[in-house]
């Protein structure tokens, strides 16, 4: 191996992007440079080391044995740089930027309106709230924190279950006025549903409607929970939603809430190298405190405080739902 005097940290960053992305195009997109820059930097690095770090395949880049070893060392250097960069804020407080990734539903329908509390405590702390329909790999530096509905795989990952939530069926009064209330689970087969687009689901845990019934009449599909919720509010059909996603303002009525429900866990995930960074710890503490204090994340207690379709008498049902 040749001298390391010619090594450039920028080339190491390009190498990390290529190793994690698996192709020149993916690395270029991740690093916000063009593919020719990625290719040139990798060539410089391989020339400086006198070794081939990747196998160039039609499908992309595959790390060589030497590349695998360099990846481990490069990640250690990256972790040290990140730790140094995000030590305590110079003024004695906590500052910096934290990228928090999670699913669209909990990000948009729950977390976004509560982040003011974190801002009040730490005005110099900036949170990037990133929504993703797939697994976010914090061990690949795709985010600092990942709030997920499952425990994700990955080495160097610290995962903690911080809560759980209940999902139940809801419908608009207009839909129930037209189609009536299902009397039991068997009657659900006669009703219309809104759900996810099957072939676009990248995280199996959101196939939660399958927990209740696999055969159903789906009349509307979207990869957005917000779109599904609004479609149900418009009267298209029944929708299965987390309790945290529904408020009294939505005019949605719980349907068979004691029978037709399922649950999911809520996991907070951080890279081991970042778990003690003050900025990350501040966001983690805020998330844990917010979730722990909210009954919605204690499924046995998270029953909606609103009239239920199944609790209304047949005569009163239609008139109540038409109000």
Instruction: Encode 44-55 in three state secondary structure.
Output: HHHHHHCCCCEE
Vertex 75 angle, CA 274 and 283, to 5°: 15
pLDDT attached to residue 315: 39
Mean pLDDT, the chain, rounded, equals 83
pLDDT attached to residue 229: 96
Instruction: Report the Cα 74 to chain-centroid distance in Å.
Output: 27
- pLDDT, tens digit, 9 for 90 and up, residues 237-255: 999 999 999 988 888 999 9
pLDDT attached to residue 221: 94
Q: What's the CATH code, domain 165-262+301-321? A: 3.40.190.10
What is the number of residues in the chain?
Answer: 323
- pLDDT, tens digit, 9 for 90 and up, residues 14-28: 888 888 888 888 888
pLDDT over threshold 80, residue 177: yes
Question: What is the average pLDDT across 88-115?
Answer: 84
pLDDT attached to residue 142: 78
- State which CATH number among 1.10.10.10, 3.40.50.300, 3.40.50.620, 1.10.1520.10 fits the domain covering 4-85: 1.10.10.10
Question: What is the average pLDDT across 49-60?
Answer: 86
Please give, one letter per residue, the 3-state secondary structure of the chain: CCCHHHCCHHHHHHHHHHHHHCCHHHHHHHHCCCHHHHHHHHHHHHHHHCCCCEEEECCEEEECHHHHHHHHHHHHHHHHHHHHHCCCCCCCCCCEEEEEEECHHHHHHHHHHHCHHHHHHCCCEEEEEEECCCCCCHHHCCCCEEEECCCCCCCCEEEEEEEEEEEEEEECHHHHHHHCCCCCCHHHHHCEEEECCHHHCCCHHHCHHHHCCCCCEEEEECCCHHHHHHHHHCCCCEEEEEHHHCCHHHCCEEECCCCCEEEEEEEEEEECCCCCCHHHHHHHHHHHHHHHCCHHHCCCCCCCCCCCHHHCCHHHHHHHHCC
**pLDDT tier at 132, thresholds 50, 70, 90:** confident
- Domain 96-163+265-297 in CATH 3.30.420.40? The answer is no
The domain limits of the chain are 4-85, 96-163+265-297, 165-262+301-321
pLDDT attached to residue 305: 47
pLDDT attached to residue 79: 67
The percent of residues in the chain predicted with pLDDT above 90, rounded, is 43
**Whole-angstrom Cα distance, residue 40 to residue 297?**
50
pLDDT attached to residue 319: 37
Question: What is the average pLDDT across 217-231?
Answer: 94
**pLDDT tier at 313, thresholds 50, 70, 90:** very low
More confident position, 255 or 85: 255
pLDDT over threshold 60, residue 94: yes
Least confident of 135-149, 215-229, 301-315: 301-315
Q: Report helix angle 9-21 to 24-31, nearest 10.
A: 120
- pLDDT, tens digit, 9 for 90 and up, residues 251-289: 899 999 889 999 999 999 998 878 888 899 999 999 999
Give yes or no on whether 4-85 and 96-163+265-297 have one common fold: no
pLDDT attached to residue 322: 34
pLDDT over threshold 50, residue 168: yes
pLDDT over threshold 50, residue 52: yes
pTM over 0.75: no
């Amino acid at each position: 191996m040749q001298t390391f005097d010619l090594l450039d940290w920028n080339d190491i960053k390009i190498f990390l992007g290529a190793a994690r992305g698996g192709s020149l195009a993916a690395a270029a997109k991740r690093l916000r440079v063009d593919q020719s820059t990625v290719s040139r930097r990798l060539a410089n690095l391989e020339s400086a080391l006198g070794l081939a770090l990747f196998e160039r395949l039609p499908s992309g880049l595959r790390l060589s044995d030497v590349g695998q070893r360099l990846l481990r060392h490069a990640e250690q250097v990256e972790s040290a740089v990140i730790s140094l960069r995000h030590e305590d804020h110079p003024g004695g407080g906590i500052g910096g930027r934290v990228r928090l990734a999670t699913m669209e539903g909990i990000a948009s329908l729950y977390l976004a309106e509560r982040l003011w509390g974190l801002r009040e405590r730490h005005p110099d702390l900036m949170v990037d709230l990133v929504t993703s329909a797939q697994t976010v790999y914090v061990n690949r530096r795709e985010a600092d924190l990942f709030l997920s509905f499952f425990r994700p795989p990955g080495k160097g990952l610290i995962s903690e279950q911080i809560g759980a939530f209940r999902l139940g069926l809801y419908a608009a009064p207009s839909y129930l006025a037209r189609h009536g209330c299902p009397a039991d689970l068997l009657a659900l087969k006669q009703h219309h549903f809104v759900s996810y687009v099957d072939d676009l689901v990248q995280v199996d845990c959101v196939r939660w409607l399958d927990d209740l019934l696999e055969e159903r009449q789906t009349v509307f599909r979207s990869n957005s929970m917000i779109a599904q919720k609004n479609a149900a509010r418009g009267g298209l059909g029944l929708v299965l939603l987390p309790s945290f996603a529904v408020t009294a303002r939505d005019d949605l009525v719980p349907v068979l809430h004691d029978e037709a429900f399922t649950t999911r866990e809520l996991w907070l995930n951080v890279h081991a190298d970042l778990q003690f960074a003050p900025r990350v710890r501040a966001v983690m503490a805020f998330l844990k405190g917010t979730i722990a204090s909210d009954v919605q994340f204690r499924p046995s207690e998270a029953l909606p405080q609103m009239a239920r379709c199944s609790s209304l008498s047949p005569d009163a049902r239609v008139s109540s739902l038409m109000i």
